[in-house]
Amino acid sequence: MTILLYDLVGSDAARPFSPHCWKVAMALAHKGLDYRAVPTRFLEVSEIEGGASSTIPVIRDGDKVVSDSFAIALHLEEAYPDRPTLFGGKGGQAHARFIERWSQLTIHPYLGVTALGALHGMQDEANAGYFRNSREARYGKPLEEVTAGRDAGLSAFRASLEPLRSMLTYQPWIGGGGPLFADYIVFGAFQWVRIATTFQSIDADDPIAEWFGRCLHLHAGLGHRVPAAA
């Protein structure tokens, strides 16, 4: 049975942008599992699977509904042990959990600021209103004031990526010899801003950019199927 992936989109259903949904899309492709993306807008999330979750991604796999990208990856690993592993064992799961926390606390805050205005512009009228109100409540200021500081914070952000940049001099993937879910966690963050905005958060000659380019080509170029913002 084809797995359903509820995938966050704006007014253009062909441009899914959520970093967390991208983690799951890559994980499903890594496992070689057939899935169908269900384009879902912010105001539709509460209706998914009878209100199964207040956030997405959500998948339906047969009679099982799972929300949260990491929980979904764990489900896929357990439910399809004969398919390529996402973690390489319990140690890999713990490693990926660290990468998830590092990404959420180091990468997402700055990238969220860089893409905020563009993400607002990707929504239809009703969802744009929801997006503005919810994000302004989160940040405590207008969207325009939030995004105004992105240039000033760029150097510090790039410096904060040095652990990842240095690690890539030792091994080609965060997962080691090949990509694992840990790679998809970080990939999702950079894919988020690639789709939303033309702002360059990393230099083209940065080793992280080279790694990201290889991620885009994984699984028959899954990441490339959605063009970068123009």
Dihedral sign, Cα of residue 185, residue 187, residue 191, residue 192? positive
* Structure tokens belonging to residue 104: 């959420």
CA distance readout (Å), 211 to 40, 149, 172, 204, 206? 29, 27, 7, 11, 9
CA angle (223 as vertex; 198, 76 as ends), nearest 5:
135
Nearest-angstrom CA–CA distance, 48 and 74: 21
* Structure tokens belonging to residue 153: 């914070």
Per-residue pLDDT of the chain (230 residues; tens, 9 = 90+): 899 999 999 999 999 999 999 999 999 999 999 999 999 999 999 999 999 999 999 999 999 999 999 999 999 999 999 999 999 999 999 999 999 999 999 999 999 999 999 999 999 999 999 999 999 999 999 999 999 989 999 999 999 999 999 999 999 999 999 999 999 999 999 999 999 999 999 999 999 999 999 999 999 999 999 999 99
Q: What contacts 108, CB < 8 A, 6 or more positions away?
A: 19, 189
Full-prediction pTM beyond 0.95?
Answer: yes
Are 86 and 73 within 8 A, CB to CB? yes
Nearest-angstrom CA–CA distance, 17 and 156: 25
Are 111 and 189 within 8 A, CB to CB? yes
